[in-house]
Structure 1
Amino acid sequence: IDGEMLPPLSLLLLQKMAANIAIARITLGVANGAFTADVEDVPDEDTQPVAEAEDEAVL
C-alpha cells in the first residue's frame, strides 16, 4: 500500500490544502485489484453538495 496508495493520496491532500479546502472524510478501499481513495470536502453553503464535490483517485 505504501508505494501504490500513499503518493497519489498525499498529492490529492496537498492539492486540497493548497486550495484551502476543508476535508470532511477520507475513505480508502480496494476496487478491481487497485487501491482507491475518496476524499470528501466539507460542504459549503455557497457551493455544491458534498456528493457532487467529491474527488476520487483510482490507482
Structure 2
Amino acid sequence: MLLLKQRSHYIRQYWRIENSQHCVLDVLFKEDNSRITLEDAVENIALFRRFVMNLRK
C-alpha cells in the first residue's frame, strides 16, 4: 500500500511540473500554435523557449 502511495505521489508531481511548464510555454510563446515544421528548427526553437523560460524564473 505504501509503495502504491509513493508511486502515485511521484506520478502526480511529474505531471504537475509537466503541466505547469506546458502552460507557461503555451501562454507566453504560443507553442501549440507554432507553424514551424523543419525538424532542426523545431528543436532549436524549443530549446530557445525553454532557455528563456528558465531565465524568466
Report the TM-score range of the alignment, normalised by the length of the smaller protein.
0.3 to 0.5
Whichever structure has more strand as a proportion of its residues is 1
Name the TM-score, length of structure 2 as normaliser: 0.37
Larger Rg: 2
